[in-house]
Amino acid sequence: MMATYSSTEALDIWEKLGNKGWAAKDLRPYLHKFQTWNRPSEEIEEFFELDRTTNESSLDGSHGSIQTSIYKHLGPLERDFVKAFKALERHPGSTDPVNGVSKGAYPITATVDPRTAERSYAVTGYYLPASSRSNLHVLTEAHVTRILFDGDRTSGVAFIHTNQAYSISAEQEVILSAGAIQSPQILELSGIGPAHILEQHGIKPVAVNENVGENLQDHIMTILPFPPTQPDLSIFSNPALVKQALEEHAKTASGPLSKFIGTSAFVSLADILSVTKSEQDVNSFVRNHFPDVAALSIQQDLIRTLLEGPEGASTQFLILPSYLRPPSANNEGGHTLVIGLMHPFSRGNIHISSPDPLAAPLIDPRYFSQPIDRDILARSLMYAEEAIHTAPLSNHVAEYERRFPRSGNVETNLEAARDHLKKWAKTTYHPVGTCAMLPLQEGGVVDNKLRVYGVTGLRVVDASIFPLIPQGNPQTLVYAVAEKASDLIKSTLWT
């Protein structure tokens, strides 16, 4: 439900990678178009000392399909999280996230209708209003087995429904939107993919493309729990509390289930290196991991340039109040800082495990295959503990022994942080990039009109086409890409 936005500099990389018409200025109208922005109350604006720049004023009067808002019932913990991260920022400035100025700490928007405190999403915003159209048919519990071709021309789709095999023909185009996990799987099952994968599983090639399933990116994250000054129970640990919270939400659209994570801090690598007592600047830090900068891939070099710039946020920090934490036998309890790596250098892949369309694909995220990712996240952990002990967030922290003592040896603290990652590094479930929109020779699967290379009549429209993972939660960019794709498809088919 978190609706965050990438910086202008990060989005511009999409076009720099060879995708004409996909710079920040081209995507920005669609980031506005998909949503209806609901301004927060004056109380929330005063509580967080928001100005109209921070508060998405350019979205006033928007009339998109998805409702967006700032949670109505954020409290002192979230407010003091924002203040503490602002206090640590070396060069604080105003923010305008939806328009590409997204570094800093502030309350974030959510895809939540403030009138009901319920999620606004593709079903409520797009499908239900269109569900009565005579030319729209949605079949649930159907599993696509492959895309059908007549030569290299897309002719239809085969699928299984209620244990029966069916096929449906397509006169114009097929739009594949199965996500970063299953879109490459369906392409390979259909004969579009690396030669050795197709040969290994006895699939007749339609278009050999070694890039299908490659370029997998994700925001790897970790957590840092800390004890609250006033301990409270997770509502999910007690069925009576869950029932009470559900009733409160249903009656008044308020209570603990009316909100989730409502604040965020995007922090530059320069700030993280400064607070964690690194004697290196960003340039030296990156060169220490990549001595031969000329050997960097195009993507890696653009990420390096982004992190060296003023708006390049390497890490996102979030705070999860103790009463919302999920029950877990290994949970240390208390409030939790969530720390996510925004611009990973590592790349993974996804490929079919079998010609059986019902078999799960093989996923190899290759987290930390580039050691710089591990070291940025380890230093971000140290930065997170510094934030916990920065006023006024420190007012919410009970006394405990610091994991990475300020007076301790930097290398010792770094090693402790790396050990923490061995136990607590996790996926954020933001996979992208496996059917990348790039020139074919640079790793592409689709062109800048989202058409699959080597065949006609087939496009991919989902997060798998992202050439580079965005800063923050990808939800807003998924909607923007879908809106832009709609215009591309209409302009191609009906002009």
Most confident of 50-59, 67-76, 176-185: 176-185
pLDDT beyond 70 at 324: no
333 confidence band (pLDDT: 50, 70, 90): low
Bridge partners, residue 3, by sequence:
109
pLDDT tens for each residue of 342-368: 999 999 999 999 999 999 999 999 999
Look up residue 121 and give its two tokens.
Answer: 């999403």
pTM over cut 0.85: yes
Three-state SS for the chain is CEECCCCHHHHHHHHHCCCCCCCHHHHHHHHHHCEEEECCCHHHHHHCCCCCCCCCHHHCCCCCCEEEECCCCCCHHHHHHHHHHHHHCCCCCCCEHHHCECCEEEECEECEECCCCEECCHHHHHHHHHCCCCCCCCCCCEEEEEEEEECCEEEEEEEEECCEEEEEECCCCEEECCHHHHHHHHHHHCCEECHHHHHHCCCCCCEECCCCCCCEECCEEEEEEECECCCCCCHHHCHHHHHHHHHHHHHHCCCHHHCCCCEEEEEEHHHHHHHCCCCCCHHHHHHHHCCCHHHCCHHHHHHHHHHHCCCCEEEEEEEECHHHCCCCCCCCCCEEEEEEECCCCCCEEEECCCCCCCCCCEEECCCCCCHHHHHHHHHHHHHHHHHHCCCCHHHHECCCCCCCCCCCCHHHHHHHHHHHHHHHCEECCCCECCCCECCHHHCCCECCCCEECCCECEEECCHHHCCCCCCCCCHHHHHHHHHHHHHHHHHHHCC
What mean pLDDT is predicted for residues 439-451? 97
Query: Tens of pLDDT along 254-275?
Result: 888 888 899 999 999 999 999 8
pLDDT of residue 329: 45
> What's the CA dihedral at 293, 294, 296, 302 to 10 degrees?
80
* Residues in contact with 190: Cβ distance below 8 Å, sequence separation at least 6, in sequence order: 146, 147, 148, 149, 206
What the chain holds in terms of domains, given with CATH numbers, is: 34-123+220-343+368-424 (3.30.560.10)
Structure tokens at 470: 């965005």
In angstroms, how far is CA 283 from the centroid of its own chain? 26
- Residue appearing with tokens 């295959």: 369
Burial of 304 (0-12, 13-18, 19+ CB in 10 A): buried
Distance CA 295, CA 315 (A): 25
* Distance in angstroms (rounded) separating the CA atoms of residues 438 and 324: 40
Q: pLDDT tens, 377-399?
A: 999 999 999 999 999 999 999 98
- pLDDT over 90 percentage in the chain: 75
Backbone angles phi, psi at 50, to 5 degrees: -80, 145
How confident is the model over 97-154, as pLDDT tens digits? 888 889 999 999 999 999 999 999 999 999 999 999 999 999 999 999 999 999 999 9
Nearest to 425 by CA among 220, 226, 272, 218: 220
Instruction: Report whether 239 contacts 230 (CB < 8 A).
Output: no
**Stretch 7-21: mean pLDDT:** 96
Query: In the prediction, which pLDDT does 323 show?
Result: 67
